[in-house]
Structure 1
Amino acid sequence: MSASTSGGGGGPLSPQAAAEFEEGIGLVFGRWTALQMAVENEWGGRDSRAKADQLAASIFSWFANSKGPFNYEDLEDMMFDSISDSFNADFEDGSVGEVAKHLLKMHEECLQSNFSSIEKLRNTRPQGNAVSQSRQIANEDDNSSSDDDDEPSMGEDEAARSEDMAVDEPNPSRPTPDADGWTTVPPRRGRGRN
């Protein structure tokens, strides 16, 4: 997706639009779960928050100092490189591309003095538990080797039910009696369903 700009080469943002866009970048970053996890867990060291702020400033500068048209792949590549350099991480959850698309759309709107998407972000608070939910999902993925790939974002209740089902149904990856005759006994919560 390549965002086109209006008029000869796009022109710069007005001072009001530039201020709105800069705030919008911060609002988007505040809701970007992968980035917030990187900051909270200090993947970039003690100055992880400053590195996230620098990433936002670099993106704003990229838009402010480029003539356009603004290319999605260029923005996404720049974001991937910055995240890799700053946090020694690769966000492979697709969020970099989503954020890049959102920023391109937001910039296009700001060029037209349309600040509705920024206003919407301003009026909705980020989910306070997004980071802890993501951490829980990541931990579930790390702790299980035979998850179905069809359900990447299982909730807590669904994960518990899934574990119960795994206890009740024969699972070829779960050992039966070993060479010494010992058998692993399933947890009690799986009993009483037959």
Structure 2
Amino acid sequence: MSASTSGGGSLPPQAAAALQEGIGLVFGRWTALQMAVENEWGGPDSRAKADQLAASILSWFTNSKGPYYYEDLEDMMFDRIYKSLNSNFADGSIREVAEQFFIMHEECLENNFSSIEKLRNTRPQGNLVSQSRQMVTEEDDDSSDDGDEPSMGEDKAARSDDMAVDQPKPYKPTPGADGWTVVPPRRGQGKN
């Protein structure tokens, strides 16, 4: 993807304001980022650090001379999230969010605000972080499904819940008096 660039050119004030709004809307829907903020992974000022990241992304698009390289934005976002929020989002969401920002920037250069309008008009389904916590809680108490169609995030969580059933519980070995540690057999191995 090294060829993915966004053309140079400065954004008119209206387009810059729309891009700023779009960045804020995407950040508000980004579950991994919201979890990092709510759980204060970057300390008590995690919200301010996330706001600073949003401002840095806007500045990157509005104050830098193009062409803009997608990898540069992704690297900058990864670096800032890692350093300021003590987080490493291994879910691929940084790449997805960077792609969305590139699309919004390209549209704003053409005074096309359709993707931002779409975000503005579609409300996130409740608090995504609370939904994530609720799914973890439901996994623990084995409560049944209420019959509603799962959202895309819940569907992914359901698939990971199915996989988690087969995972062994973490085992913390403790050495015996003789210094040797007994390790239990792995589940399912050695059975034919």
Which residue of the partner structure matches residue 105 of structure 2?
A: 107
Aligned match of 2:78 in 77, 80, 83?
80
**TM-score with structure 1 setting the length:** 0.70
Other structure's SS at 2:44 match: coil
| Cα 1:79/1:160, change in 2 over 3 Å | closer
Structure 1 vs Structure 2: percent identity of aligned residues? 69
| Cα 1:113/1:136, change in 2 over 3 Å | same
> What do the CA deviations read for 1:32-82 (whole angstroms, capped 9, x no partner)?
000000001011111111100000000000111111111111000000110
Matched, 1:173 2:176: no
| Cα 1:120/1:53, change in 2 over 3 Å | same
Other structure's SS at 2:187 match: coil
Structure 1 residues not aligned, in runs of 5+: 142-151, 165-171, 175-194
Which residue of the partner structure matches residue 33 of structure 1?
A: 31
> What do the CA deviations read for 1:80-127 (whole angstroms, capped 9, x no partner)?
110011111101000000000000110000000000000000011122
**TM-score with structure 2 setting the length:** 0.71
Per-residue deviation, 1:130: 1.8
Aligned length: 153
Contact 1:39 1:52 in 2 (8 A): yes
Q: Which has the larger radius of gyration?
A: 1
Contact 1:3 1:105 in 2 (8 A): no
Contact 2:6 2:102 in 1 (8 A): no
Matched, 1:3 2:5: yes
In 2, Cα distance between the equivalents of 1:56 and 1:89?
Answer: 16
In 2, Cα distance between the equivalents of 1:120 and 1:21?
Answer: 13
Other structure's SS at 2:157 match: coil
In 2, Cα distance between the equivalents of 1:37 and 1:24?
Answer: 20
Per-residue deviation, 1:137: 5.9
Write out aligned runs for 1:89-168 (5 A).
Answer: 89-135=87-133, 153-155=156-158, 159=161, 163=165
